Chain A
Amino acid sequence: MTADEQAALVAWIWGQPGALPPHGMQASERGLNAYREHAKALAVRALAAVFPRLQTWMGESEFAGLAWAFARTHPPRAGDMNRWGGELSAFLCGLPGMDEEPPALAAFEWALHCMAFAADDGPADEALWQQLQLTDPGHLRLRFATGIALHHLPISLNAMLSAGAEETGGGPLWLVWRSGWRPAWTPFAEAQQNVLAALLCEPTLAAALQAQPAEAPLLAAVLQQGWRQGWLLGAQRA
């Protein structure tokens, strides 16, 4: 059988634009539809597993429609279904009249989902504090938990995001990271975001402080929060 024959069947199953029921097979309508119905159900099930809060926000019926619309335009391209859905936020952004919450929520939940497959962190290292006192900051880089990132989310999502968060409070800024094997998130002070961004991006602690000199006084507070919440794990020589 040819690649074209195979492609025609897959395109029809996933509802690709212009796809017609494939030729060259003994197929009842029920038989073909069994494959398409499986694809539809799989799309909903897979995306609901990754985006449970988005499904709650939109409602099951609307989410199911979204899942198939997304699947038709962004069908799976690899055999690991856990890697599918990363383009959902951008897809939502492109829908006319879309509110700001769904795309932001989709990006947030995708970030949480992706942490599940990342390499495990080593344990937190209490020698951090001694290193901070004794080591030249030009030769020190902080070690953060897997997946650490800041997300800017509409404050209308605060109630939903507060459920399960590490600490209470509200957005719009939320910090996500992997804590052990589970995703974690917490509200994050906007005043501290520049210093954290510099710590994440710059090659050394000294470079981070030079990048944000006006906010250097906030460093101690950021480090203490990171250690307490478990997203700052230690330091290493740069």
Chain B
Amino acid sequence: MSEGLVAGLGLRQPHYVDLLTRRPSLPFVEVHSENFFAEGGAALGVLHAVRADYAVSLHGVGLGLGSAVGLDEWHLQQLQQLVERVQPVRVSDHACFARAGGLHAQDLLPLRFDDATLNRLVDHVQQVQERLGRSILVEHLSAYVVWDGDTLAEPDFFNALTARSGCQLLLDVNNLYVNAHNAGGGPAAARAWMGAIRPGSVGEIHVAGHADVGALYIDDHGSPVIEPVWALLAEGRARFGRDVPILLERDTDIPPLDDLLAEVARAEVA
């Protein structure tokens, strides 16, 4: 039923029952890995039920792949167990740090784009890939601060990451739009970023909404996708291939499932 489709949906708790009851045609659904780190229980039970009908993509928000203190062994164990249970179509996380000073930031904190950080990220991505026995995707961030001392342009950083680690880039066109605006630029800067990414290295494209809080755009995944971001999606698909999977993300102010399915349908033809 989903043959030929590429646009999937981020599945969140308010839609569990609706999705399992109606079973709309989708090529995959994405879930946040950390919400299913469990030995049993309802969440895992729902995920198994979903997996019976859908391909599942595991998208992590907690590995902190760029953390200088290294990866969390417990987190890796949990992820490995979940991957073995779910057999996901893709596994992804972010090019960020989160673990530092004994704390976990519970956020996706930006990295400095330099050789030392790149080396660490490559090493950590390879550790995860070896542990899981598969390649992963790594998403670039929307960031509200920038470290001093960058020596690499961000697209070059990710081109090197994918080439050296064997991972794929998870391209988020909303992140590009948010970053371009917050840096005082516009869609042209986002297009230039995409134009500098090596074709063939993108394994998935994310699209989402964001909040306009005045001086900053915040990547809160809490509103419908806006027209300029749809346009970036279309350009991304033209550059990286129309068979690259697309994900619609919505994490806050979650509307009825039909509203999101309408956006998924639009992503399919973007």
Contact = CB atoms under 8 A, between A and B. Distances in A.
Contact of A1 (B40, B78, B147, B215): B147
Interface string B95-108: 00111111111110
Interface string A1-39: 111011111110110100000001111101110110011
Interface in B27-82: 34-35, 37-43, 45, 60-64, 67-69, 72, 74-75, 78
B163 interface: no
Interface string A80-107: 1110000000000000000000000000
A3 B146 contact: no
B145 interface: yes
Interface string B142-177: 001111110000000000000000000000000000
Interface in B91-132: 97-107, 109, 111-112, 114, 116-117
Contact of B39 (A32, A81, A118): A118
B37 to A, nearest CB: 5
B9 interface: no
Contact of B103 (A77, A115, A182): A77
Contacts of A31: 144-145, 182, 216
B11 interface: no
A113 to B, nearest CB: 11
Nearest to B40: A120
A102 B61 CA distance: 31
A80 B63 CA distance: 9
B157 to A, nearest CB: 13
B57 to A, nearest CB: 18
A181 interface: yes
B42 A11 contact: no
Interface in A25-61: 25-28, 30-32, 34-35, 38-39, 42
A116 B60 CA distance: 20
Contact of B101 (A7, A32, A42, A181): A7
Contacts of B104: 75-79
Interface of B: 34-35, 37-43, 45, 60-64, 67-69, 72, 74-75, 78, 97-107, 109, 111-112, 114, 116-117, 144-149, 182, 215-216, 218
15 contacts: A5-B68, A6-B97, A7-B103, A9-B105, A11-B100, A24-B148, A25-B147, A26-B145, A28-B215, A77-B103, A78-B72, A78-B75, A79-B63, A120-B45, A181-B41
